[in-house]
Amino acid sequence: MFILNKIENWIESYSNSEYIDEIKTQFLKSDEIIKTLPILKQQHPDHMYTSKPINTGEITKLLEQMKQMRISQGISQSIESVEMSDL
Residues 87, 79: Cα–Cα separation, whole Å: 18
Among 79, 82, 81, which residue's Cα sits nearest to residue 71?
79
d(CA 38, CA 41): 9
Residue 83 half-sphere exposure, CB side, CA atoms within 13 Å? 2
Please give the Cα distance from 48 to 53 (Å, whole number). 16
Q: What is the tens place of the pLDDT at every residue in 57-68?
A: 988 898 899 888
Residues 64, 56: Cα–Cα separation, whole Å = 12
Percentage, residues of the chain above pLDDT 90: 14
pLDDT in tens, 22-41: 888 999 999 999 999 988 77
Confidence of residue 77 (pLDDT cuts 50, 70, 90): low
